[in-house]
Structure 1
């Protein structure tokens, strides 16, 4: 029988509580005899990439259940299980819109396409390729991002191609590339089932990646010897199952990680045979040194010396280091708490360091595994080259050899691609403020809510001609759009998502889109042709055509998706790259001979970090670096932001589900009990949070989740846009903003 949504929401809420005990989150709830067909797909939300089965009845999606053949084994979180209502939200854009007299009004496809194309041509003719730009999303299909990047970089000669993964995953990319030479994790979710130690830092996994957290909790429940270390400035649900919670001060992550390395080396728990053979030690200014120099660098990070800075007792730092190093198999997990820092790349490097000096890498259960925020930030934006400095399949614009490879594959004259990297996200929106970027095409993203210090960039959003491919009319960015194209949403078209573990899986078409909605691939092709892009460069009828080209483009690189055909994706529930042939099973461990197809069978050594010229990974000597805006003086508190388990990103989707919307109708501010008592704040009081960029009123949640001096606000609320208060300082390497830390003042309203 089919259960009511009211009953389902109660079951799901209870499941979130019991996740810590390894209890499944959500199972299917609709009786199969009420469904005409089940269509395979991938969840629309986070980077976990859960497989789903979409139940269709009378041409409509009526329910969603987990795919038992995918990595999630039929399990879904609350958000994924309640995806169906999002499709039928009254806010769906179903016809093209253009702005007339300040208001968006319905238009024909020809009128909207011609207007958008004319503005792009006008900008190109008057000021050249640098005046046009594309801003995409880790939620777009792989085919969509590959196509958009090709249109702009090859067709319009503009490298101003960016996406919102710059805000969430750029530092992880920088960390992988600078340490190993190539992006993306070397391990997979299978490591979660073999690890005997989990080191979780800068990630509230229980709320942001609940299905993976259930898997971690189940591992601990099944083996009482498994240890969990959580390093986080908040006491989240994740920390509740930790054997050790290091309640660090915000911004002290680099010092803690170096201190753990000090303990490991000082106690002679490093794997000398491994790092002597497979690792180079490098100073911050890229000077190659020996292991003794690294040991000398770590002398400044003795736990007793680090304790006053980070607020973590020296004994806890030692315990964490010993547990990490003495465990049979250690998996590290991290997310935005590490990436959204002005030294996020360095923090990523230091996590990798712990694995490299202990040799806990490339073995079942031993891997550094960064968690991804969006369903296709990896398989779309990162892999296909959807950022301003990248080209597809790990190539970079700055390298002539890489440009020439793409020119050959795309049928372009040699040296015709623009050799100058484009503008990164924050520079792009600043260039819009300055009137240098005159037209912007956005796809499946809501920058007017997700950018940091957003008020600073409103002028540019108003000044530039903004063309949006957007499914929901209430996204804040729609207030600035001049042309809106209605896309087919989620299972209304076919395409690929690539999740955290390098798993590529197909989202099948289950239903027809409403109204005049079209697949974004077709929108992009038609718009490009009207702007003047050579039709021979974009000869695609649908996403299948784009996928076939993408496979060929990747085939001559270590990414190599050549064996991931549409036919295999239809039959299988995801395949991990590299996958060079159609009979290859996919790769769960990279950089290890016998596991990674990029390493010849006769290679003399077990490990080969082939992204580096000498095949060695790098242990970086990265010093502690404070936040751009530490608390103090007039602003004595630290403001941090993040997600809650029910909502996702800017709530343009989760806000359409009544049960979810009621559970978290608005953002709030978490205040520590001691701070609240001192300021006379009670639970539910109105509290003003003030930063150097503005102020905002929130309801107070008083408790012990945050340490004294720290406040937390979730960022989903379109009415209380906390990103008006956050800072836009960036990591100089990754160009990712420091959302996680800014100074604030807290006052009772």
Structure 2
């Protein structure tokens, strides 16, 4: 077996602009205001990368109706013209040989081509029958952090508003959840519980202002390479001052560049973070005035379960409860987490723990903490997010240039669509929730529907949604821009249910996947710049693009698909589409956006107008307008001159809650003159406008290695591939670079087992077995007793052996910890 030589791959592709030979697409396109044609006749238009949550701006090159090249957009502040290796091959992701071009219907066990009318009529008839017989609780939608913002908002209206006009129970369905549930729901939960507002307060510009970087379970060099290149640029400019501290369960490319690596036992990051808090307090390194002005202390419920039983039967009802405590009580709580105790628990040397604690608490240092799935995909993911906020709140290193906790996202619009639009089972746009009567009233007024049509009961989150299919409660599932039958943990259970239970499954996608294999109807979708769209990235930057090229065959956008189904659902002499999508065709996207935007105005979530988005190369929210007449809510004119970086009438806020940069904070301090700091957590009304420091302990994981299953398994991504490989495995250069998933094994473990690089091994858990080739001393070297396997390879489904455990608060699955054994085949 031949493992790839990555160095040779990079040598042969480094100079490539990834220009593809593409077949022609016909039809009307729309140029952006910034479109330019070069001397080669290539027209360049702005867009945003289709991959991770960094949100790199890209320029898309077309000629004669063909997409021929992509390159980084130097006018986008998120990436400043840089792209990673995946970004340079964007031109090829759309033109795989097996692109879906016609609807497919399963007949006699096989998917066969059909017309759009036949497929849509069948789908509508299934909706109508199930909604009238079983009600809206019997239908579900599984969406995506890759939905455009337009698509996500249309889906929310379809499910949470439109279906209520047809269902026998008279309310919409909240059984709509994005695949972002599986990657950043823990971050959402902790943001809301700490600040009562979602998403990071800082920006990528923090990188140029910071001198200390903590990466917690974040292999940024491969998962967010453009951002990591900026970190390395900062370090190279001042190598003696700038420090990188990497914490994780494997030695990665970030670890190679780090000044300090803390390789810890899985789950003990909880204990390490509590040790840092204890160190800060014991050494009186906390910012006393900041804490007094801006913080409340609470204690969380403990022993909250792991979501292993259907319906969360092992989770106490008060799992998310928080009880007020004093600073002295918090001090006593963390005092248990001494250097000696945490070293013994985590396996990290005492001197390394103390060195890291000194760096993160040093008043003279600017500190940014970054994390991704290592924190979020965690049975105590909400807790560990809280514990990092605790550190930054204690030290006051937050909402200031170069200082702050920063949760990175993995998908291009996990923030813009899943979080901001509210495509989760419990949410509405702009941080509103279905349980809140006032929020339902606001949504009903904007949507112009009776408030009674909005279901006040949160729906089934992802894991319970698919368990409900197995239990016969969900009768119809529509999957859009996602591949759950490759990504769900304990995959065997859910694939078997999809094939055997009485459930009608619709999948909208661009290529055949493991999910289309279980579908009753497959709808061919338009992809990326084949339709108008917008994404929102991790630094709150919204980026719009126009339709640039046509879709192949009969592929159509998901919005069109939902509208067509809605047109077939009758409500008296009207249709559901007449009620929820009643916008003129010529201004459909503008009107949809401005309606959605109205949720955000005046709430510190203000989005830019449609015409501004079309013109600019990304706009960060809150996008605050100076005058009440233009803004529609608040008059910021009295404090406008106190805010830095304001234009004549608008400002995009780089550092939320900081009165020097955020007009909302400046206005709040103008109204609360007793405040002594420039930081104002103006969204945290329930805590008297203070952020929460939460006392929660280390608790062990649901499943640990034992004599029979002696290894920890961690899954994840790698540089060349993205998610389930649906796009990147169809780019020849990327597929040649990494043609298959391998199991990464620690060299000491491999030697003990007699395993060499390239040997075939069987990885087995209590749920099944999968065979992989072994890699030893590869780019990621797991800590001793750990193995790492990426999940992009549909021919080797690692999720057949993962455990469907989840955080009882955020309901996010833990893909980072289960017990396995390894045998040489």
- Scaled by the length of structure 2, the TM-score of the pair is 0.86
- SS of the equivalent of 2:255 reads helix
2:251 to 195, 215, 235: 235
The answer to whether the 8 A contact 1:521-1:543 is kept is no
Partner of 2:202: 187
Q: By how many angstroms is 1:283 displaced?
A: 0.9
- SS of the equivalent of 1:301 reads coil
1:343 to 364, 372, 380: 380
**1:544 and 2:610 equivalent?**
no
- SS of the equivalent of 1:231 reads strand
Aligned positions, number: 731
1:315 to 351, 362, 366: 351
Partner of 2:708: 634
- SS of the equivalent of 1:283 reads strand
The 5 A counterparts of 1:173-322 are 173-224=188-239, 225-285=241-301, 286-322=322-358
CA-to-partner distance for each residue in 1:177-207, whole Å, 9 max, x for gaps?
Answer: 1111111000010101111100100111000
Partner of 1:38: 44
Distance 1:343 1:626 in 2: 9
The answer to whether the 8 A contact 2:545-2:614 is kept is no
1:487 to 525, 534, 539: 525
CA-to-partner distance for each residue in 1:222-278, whole Å, 9 max, x for gaps?
Answer: 112111100011110011111110011111110010011111111111111111110
CA-to-partner distance for each residue in 1:477-525, whole Å, 9 max, x for gaps?
Answer: 0101111222211001111100000000012221111111222211111
- SS of the equivalent of 1:287 reads strand
The answer to whether the 8 A contact 2:489-2:800 is kept is yes
**1:719 and 2:795 equivalent?**
yes
**1:516 and 2:523 equivalent?**
no
- SS of the equivalent of 1:83 reads helix
Q: By how many angstroms is 1:593 displaced?
A: 1.9
Q: By how many angstroms is 1:413 displaced?
A: 1.7
The answer to whether the 8 A contact 2:761-2:771 is kept is yes
Q: By how many angstroms is 1:609 displaced?
A: 1.3
Q: By how many angstroms is 1:85 displaced?
A: 1.3
Partner of 1:385: 422
CA-to-partner distance for each residue in 1:536-565, whole Å, 9 max, x for gaps?
Answer: 32114343332121112222432121xx12
The answer to whether the 8 A contact 1:189-1:501 is kept is yes
The answer to whether the 8 A contact 1:12-1:78 is kept is no
1:461 to 469, 487, 498: 498
The answer to whether the 8 A contact 1:39-1:509 is kept is no
Bigger mean CA offset, 600-609 vs 286-295 = 600-609
Q: By how many angstroms is 1:628 displaced?
A: 1.1
Q: Which runs of 5+ in 1 are unaligned?
A: 1-5, 16-25
CA-to-partner distance for each residue in 1:575-627, whole Å, 9 max, x for gaps?
Answer: 11111337423111111224223335314332221232210001000100111
Distance 2:820 2:19 in 1: 45
Q: By how many angstroms is 1:132 displaced?
A: 0.6
The answer to whether the 8 A contact 1:27-1:66 is kept is no
CA-to-partner distance for each residue in 1:147-187, whole Å, 9 max, x for gaps?
Answer: 10111101111110111000001001011111111110000
The 5 A counterparts of 1:43-62 are 43-62=49-68
2:620 to 567, 576, 590: 576
Partner of 1:19: none
Q: By how many angstroms is 1:32 displaced?
A: 4.6
Distance 1:61 1:656 in 2: 16
Distance 1:721 1:332 in 2: 32
Distance 1:669 1:35 in 2: 46
Distance 2:768 2:359 in 1: 43
The answer to whether the 8 A contact 2:18-2:90 is kept is no
- SS of the equivalent of 1:599 reads helix
C-alpha RMSD over aligned residues = 1.8
Q: By how many angstroms is 1:61 displaced?
A: 0.6
- SS of the equivalent of 1:644 reads coil
Distance 1:510 1:534 in 2: 26
- SS of the equivalent of 1:467 reads strand
- SS of the equivalent of 1:554 reads coil
Partner of 2:136: 129
Distance 2:8 2:191 in 1: 40
Distance 1:742 1:35 in 2: 54
1:113 to 104, 117, 120: 120
**1:81 and 2:88 equivalent?**
yes
The answer to whether the 8 A contact 1:27-1:74 is kept is no
The answer to whether the 8 A contact 2:17-2:69 is kept is no
Bigger mean CA offset, 327-336 vs 565-574 = 565-574
1:435 to 472, 495, 509: 472
Q: By how many angstroms is 1:569 displaced?
A: 1.6
- SS of the equivalent of 2:341 reads helix
The answer to whether the 8 A contact 1:505-1:574 is kept is yes
- SS of the equivalent of 1:391 reads coil
Bigger mean CA offset, 660-669 vs 459-468 = 459-468
Distance 2:403 2:423 in 1: 30
**1:141 and 2:213 equivalent?**
no
Distance 1:466 1:544 in 2: 32
Bigger mean CA offset, 550-559 vs 650-659 = 550-559
Partner of 1:608: 680
Distance 1:569 1:254 in 2: 40
Distance 2:17 2:738 in 1: 23
Partner of 1:419: 456
- SS of the equivalent of 2:665 reads coil
Distance 1:7 1:86, change over 3 A: farther
- SS of the equivalent of 2:453 reads coil
Q: By how many angstroms is 1:29 displaced?
A: 8.2
Bigger mean CA offset, 35-44 vs 376-385 = 35-44
Distance 1:13 1:204 in 2: 23
**1:325 and 2:361 equivalent?**
yes
Q: By how many angstroms is 1:7 displaced?
A: 12
**1:707 and 2:818 equivalent?**
no
Q: By how many angstroms is 1:467 displaced?
A: 1.0
Distance 2:390 2:208 in 1: 23
